[in-house]
């Protein structure tokens, strides 16, 4: 049973925007932290942003503050990541995850999607 499905990745130029979507099953979405992580080739998985679906309270890594916005639509059990002013350093596989906390620690998240690739060229 697929519980998290990401979409919206693609290839863009530096300075452009993308919006990622994470569609979740109700059991993992409801009253839970849902987060976005990313992993670039040869690098460790990095927490990007998280949202507590009940309240909408959001948390961000310093590297994306002011450029990325996480939001959720409780009617659709979907979490979004709006990414603006993208740079080549944002190139990575982006994963949606659920079940952890606001500290954006990958080991704390128990349910993961398959990922969607984002490529930013200069």
Per-residue pLDDT of the chain (122 residues; tens, 9 = 90+): 779 999 999 999 999 999 999 999 988 999 899 999 999 999 999 999 999 999 999 999 999 999 999 999 999 999 999 999 999 999 999 999 999 889 899 999 999 999 999 999 99
Neighbouring C-beta atoms of residue 7, cutoff 10 Å: 14
The Cα 118–Cα 88 span in angstroms is 10
pLDDT reported for residue 84:
98
Given this model, what pLDDT does residue 26 score? 86
For 26, the enclosing helix (H) or strand (E) is helix 26-29
Predicted confidence at residue 2, as pLDDT, reads 76
- In angstroms, the CA 85 to CA 106 distance is 25
pLDDT at 79: 98
């Amino acid at each position: 049973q697929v519980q998290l499905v990401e979409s919206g990745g693609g290839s863009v130029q530096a300075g452009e925007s993308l919006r990622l979507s994470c569609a979740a099953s109700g059991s993992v979405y409801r009253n839970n932290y849902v987060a976005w992580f990313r992993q670039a080739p040869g690098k460790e998985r990095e927490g990007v942003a998280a949202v507590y679906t009940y309240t909408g309270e959001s948390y961000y890594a310093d590297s994306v503050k002011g450029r990325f916005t996480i939001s959720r639509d409780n009617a659709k059990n979907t979490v979004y990541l709006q990414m603006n002013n993208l740079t080549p350093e944002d190139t990575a596989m982006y994963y949606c995850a659920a079940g952890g906390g606001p500290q954006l620690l990958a080991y704390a998240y128990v349910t993961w999607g398959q990922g969607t690739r984002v490529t930013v060229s200069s």
